Structure 1
Amino acid sequence: MGQIQAVIFDLDGVITDTAEYHYLAWKQLADDLGIPMDRSFNEQLKGVGRKESLDKILEHGGKHLTEEEKEFYATKKNEHYKTFIQDITPDDLLPGILDFMKEIKEAGIQTALASASKNAKPVIKRLEVEQYLDTVVDAAQVTNGKPDPEIFIKGADQLSVDPAYCVGVEDAQAGVQAIKAAGMYAVGIGAEEALSQADWVVQQPSQLSLEELKRRLEM
């Protein structure tokens, strides 16, 4: 691919893990609706959009709501979530990711965030990593969610970089598919069998390094 000109990061599962906050927010909403919900049921909601998650909870509890009521409760869940993420601090950064982000910036390589969350900006502010990101693309700026490549292509556009010279970093299969569909080099964080389409897979962010990334790109 030649020289790396930009690295585009996903947020959840790459820079921080807000899964616990999403669980607490859904749990509080389920309590509001009188629906029992535990961590094992919550596994069904991971990587699923807000409205689809609400439908799963309602089905689980045997409750029926109008579209207007669903809109109300989906918004209420987001309010719960926003309250919980106020507790996020730099201690919530995944181990090793800050060192990698600093290494990228010090090498003069541009960076972007490509997050499916509409709350990405307040989260990175609380994590104190804004200075390591040149631009942020969140769900509010795109029409199509991952695995559609739109969010990664938009990130490259905002940096004025050809996608062919970009590296995307993701922890989910849909995200890796989006990176590859954008024509970028894909780095996956997690289990290799789940991220088989990635060009390079590490189990955790602490295994990332610019030197190793460059070595793999030259292979």
Structure 2
Amino acid sequence: MIKGFIFDLDGVITDTAELHYTAWKNLADKMDWEFDRTINDKLRGISRMDSIKVILDHNNAKLNKETLVELAKEKNDIYVESLNTMTPDDYLPGIKELLTNLRIEGFNVALGSASKNALKVLEQLNATAFFDIIGDGNSVSKSKPEPDIFLYGAEKLKLQPEECIVVEDAESGIDAAKAGGFHSIGIGPEERLGHADLRFDSTKEATLFEIKSYFKDLF
């Protein structure tokens, strides 16, 4: 039986993708690196340090670890500053209603995000009360597609993976959910998330009614 839900943050609860893109673009321009939206798409769902390595690889650039850490911090500072512009109006369509209904029906809910700024984002949205557990980039050492962040959430909720549904917008996130033995819902296009157990084109379609209808044998 399904007893818990674990949500990714970016692209599921809210869309900070444009803020991330702008921050990475600012850094890339400063370093004279090529960076566009195609490269940016490859950063979906992965950690900050893994992201900068993707950008480096694309540009055939090499830097020592100390410099990489400094640049990643610089990007993060730009991004964190931009978070101050977020408000409780910045939930993606239908997500606040879904979280509210999960609360009403007594499900356990965790966040499972690679972001180390997840708490700040939730606070800007006034969303912390929807979550029993907040798992973020500070909670585990291995990021998606490893399942560690979801396993962390399930353990803290005192649930088994098969008792939880993971909601993700990234291919690496669905890979992580499957690797951990979780049920999965993908938010986004077929070509990216066709391997999820259930997929919606947008968050607006992901109602609790539709989720229960699909996983009816598990509720």
Cα deviation per residue 1:32-53 (whole Å; 9 max; x = unaligned)?
3344644455445444543344
1:166 equivalent in alignment to 2:164:
yes
| Aligned AA (2:128) | E
Max Rg structure: 1
* 1:186 aligned counterpart, secondary structure: strand
Counterpart secondary structure, 1:176: helix
Q: Distance in 2 between matches of 1:187 and 1:218?
A: 14
Equivalent residue for 1:140?
Answer: 138
- Give the corresponding residue for 1:69: 67
1:115 equivalenced with 2:120 (yes/no): no
Distance 1:58 1:162 in 2: 38
* Gap regions ≥5 residues in structure 1: none
Q: How many Å separate the matches in 2 of 1:56 and 1:6?
A: 33
Q: CA RMSD in A?
A: 2.1
Offset at 1:175?
0.8
Please give the alpha-carbon distance, in whole angstroms, between the structure 1 residues aligned to 2:65 and 2:121: 29
Which residue pairs with 1:31 in the alignment?
29
Q: Is the alpha carbon distance of 1:66 and 1:130 closer, same or farther for their aligned partners in structure 2, counting shifts above 3 Å? A: same
Q: CA offset at residue 158 of structure 1?
A: 0.7
Q: CA deviation at 1:172?
A: 1.1
TM-score w.r.t. structure 2 length? 0.89
Per-residue deviation, residues 146-182 of structure 1 (Å, max 9, x unmatched): 1211111110111112222111111111111211222
* Structure 2 unaligned residues grouped into runs of 5+: none
- The separation in 2 between residues aligned to 1:162 and 1:66, in whole angstroms, is 40
Corresponding residue for 2:198? 200
Q: Distance in 2 between matches of 1:134 and 1:90?
A: 19
CA distance in 2, matches of 1:58, 1:184: 33
SS at match of 1:98: helix
After alignment, is 207-216 or 146-155 more displaced?
207-216
Q: How far has the Cα of 1:92 moved from its partner?
A: 1.8
Identity of aligned residues (%): 41
In structure 2, what is the Cα distance between the partners aligned to 1:27 and 1:46? 15
Quick one: structure 1 residues 191 and 131, their matched pair in 2 at CA, closer, same or farther if it must change by over 3 Å? Answer: same
Instruction: Please give the secondary structure, in 1, of the residue aligned with 2:176.
Output: helix
- Equivalent residue, structure 2, for 1:95: 93
Query: In the alignment, what sits opposite 1:20?
Result: 18
Tell me the distance in 2 between the aligned counterparts of 1:56 and 1:184.
27
Residues 55 and 151 (structure 1), Cα distance of their counterparts in 2 relative to 1, 3 Å cut: closer
> Offset of 1:66 from its aligned partner?
3.3
User: How many residues are paired up?
Assistant: 217
| Higher mean C-alpha deviation, range 144-153 or range 130-139 | 144-153
Residue equivalent to 1:210: 208
Moved more, 129-138 or 85-94: 85-94
Q: CA deviation at 1:73?
A: 1.3
Cα pair distance change 1:34/1:136, threshold 3 Å? same
Aligned CA distance change for structure 1 residues 102 and 31 (closer, same or farther; 3 Å): same
